[in-house]
Structure 1
Amino acid sequence: AGRFFFKPFTWVIPGLKKKSTAYTYGKDTEFSHFLEAIRVLNTNIQLLSSDRPIHSVAISSSMPGDGKSTIALFLAQTAAAMGKKVLLVDADMRKPQVHTRLQLPNSLGLSNLIAQTLSPEEVINDELPIPGLSVLTAGKIPPDPTKLLSSEKMKGLIKYFEEIFDLIIYDTTPVLGLADISLLTPSTDGLILVTRIEKTDRSALTQALDNLRLSRVNVLGIVANGVQGDANSPYSYYKYGYGNNHKEQDWEEEENLTSTLSK
């Protein structure tokens, strides 16, 4: 990790009128623009690597409610639909969302896999409507998620997942106020930070980026979620920095993005 540090890209994702609660990939025309943006995001994440494919990605946000779980869910579905063997891991053991969104049981999940004597095959759900997609829910909410994420068992699981799957996507906790990100992300290829236009507080985003810098988290890019407007909009995802341009940006896009966020 670290080869993309301080080279973040900004991807713009159109807003959804309603929260997806199940497997809507390719089934609802209302999601067509959103899904196309997710496809572009998936492709460009892979193009960021100069030496080997991106194998594991953490998805986070500065604060709750910015849409990180939505991005993680659809990114996983998109990668699977494009032929990859994908594992979506709900690593937010504080306020897990994946099992609810995908209507899956959560009696056993990541917390159980770490704390108990279970095999991954007993816990991972691979009987899903989308071929190639497997899901590991968060499981029972533990009293100390940080302890589980920092365990040697978790480190071993991360290595095991990378041997079995083409892409592992971790839906993690928000950055601010929690140590979970700094424990999990160094074992991945990088982090995508999700923000929501006209919702994410500017100071919260700035503080989140500062925290990530100090922790030397490998930030692959920022997703500006919830953009409204058509292709002629100045914030249209069709116009917003999808090129494979690897020049140093030194977080300049942070200032461009924060001008559209909530004060």
Structure 2
Amino acid sequence: MFNFKSKKKRELAMDSSINGVEMVAVANPKSIVSEQFKTIRTNIQFSNADVTIKSILVTSSMATEGKSTVAANMAATFAAQGLRTLLVDADMRRPTINATFSIDNPRGLTNFLTDRSFDINQAIYETSAANLLVMPSGPVPPNPAELLNSKRMDSLIKALSESFDMVVYDAPPVLSVTDSQILAAKVDGTVIVVRQNMAEKEAVRSTVLALRHVNANIIGSVMNDITFDGSGYYKYGYYGYEYYGKSNKKSKNS
């Protein structure tokens, strides 16, 4: 059983692969930010009445936009609803699950994809949050894209969707490498994280085009790191959420 680290508030630009991400949905489930994750969860669950979404890819255009934080907290929110949820670190180049959940020298996704005799159960770890399990990325491989594009990865995605109520994949930024495009074509839905005052419009457009090129099912986006006033009001949108207020206080990274 692994416990979450207590962390001081930090900027997303810090190296989350070393420090991990802040699990606000677990540490403070009644906070304003946690409520926004619940709204995102609801939007995803009702995004398509005809299709049950059981696997979600979370990505962004570029690095440091908060996609790992969103993926981890989104997974925790699904788990809090009573759904048996697995968070998979599919960012083999810059993994974060090890640090977030204090897992030392973990075996993970890479081990399964490179060793046919490897038991996938050895790569799945319990956490201190009920119903939430995690799969680290494992050792950094020289060929992440090739591994993710393999038939073995296809079979794993299918098996995990059958074994869990929800599977959330934390994937690399779309414009950095091809990994997310490969995975987006295999999962039920994709969520794009866009960080305020950092993401460029053209980069976001290029990300959407790249994902559409592989026929990814883009179910929405999350606007991250919004300024807000605690006494303000909120506007919830299908493609994420925004805070409205008068002050320039920063919300916790979400």
Q: Evaluate the alpha carbon distance shift between residue 134 and residue 242 of structure 1 in structure 2; reply closer, same or farther with a 3 A threshold.
A: same
Structure 2 residue aligned with 1:260:
none
Structure 2 residue aligned with 1:123:
123
Deviation readout 1:128-154 (Å, 9 max, x if unpaired): 111111100000000000111011111
Give me the TM-score of the superposition, normalised by structure 2.
Answer: 0.81
Structure 2 residue aligned with 1:191:
190
Deviation readout 1:62-106 (Å, 9 max, x if unpaired): 000000000000001111011000000000111111211222234
Whether the 8 Å CA contact 1:60–1:172 is kept in 2: the answer is yes
Report the residue type matching 1:185 in the other structure.
Answer: A
Q: Within the alignment, does 1:241 sit opposite 2:233 as a pair?
A: no
Report the residue type matching 1:120 in the other structure.
Answer: I
Which secondary structure does the structure 2 equivalent of 1:239 belong to? strand
Which runs of no fewer than 5 residues in structure 1 stay unpaired? 1-15, 244-263
Q: Within the alignment, does 1:18 sit opposite 2:17 as a pair?
A: no
Paired with 1:131 and 1:187, the residues of 2 have a C-alpha distance of 27
For 1:51-200, list aligned pairs within 5 A.
51-116=50-115, 117-126=117-126, 128-200=127-199
Which structure ranks higher in relative contact order (CA pairs < 8 Å, sequence separation ≥ 6)? 1
Paired with 1:201 and 1:85, the residues of 2 have a C-alpha distance of 36
Give me the TM-score of the superposition, normalised by structure 1.
Answer: 0.79
Report the residue type matching 2:153 in the other structure.
Answer: M
Which runs of no fewer than 5 residues in structure 2 stay unpaired? 1-7, 12-19, 240-254
Deviation readout 1:206-255 (Å, 9 max, x if unpaired): 2112212222221111110011113776xx6x213249xxxxxxxxxxxx
Deviation readout 1:42-69 (Å, 9 max, x if unpaired): 1110001211321000000000000000
Q: CA deviation at 1:157?
A: 0.6
Whether the 8 Å CA contact 2:23–2:69 is kept in 1: the answer is no
Structure 2 residue aligned with 1:212:
211
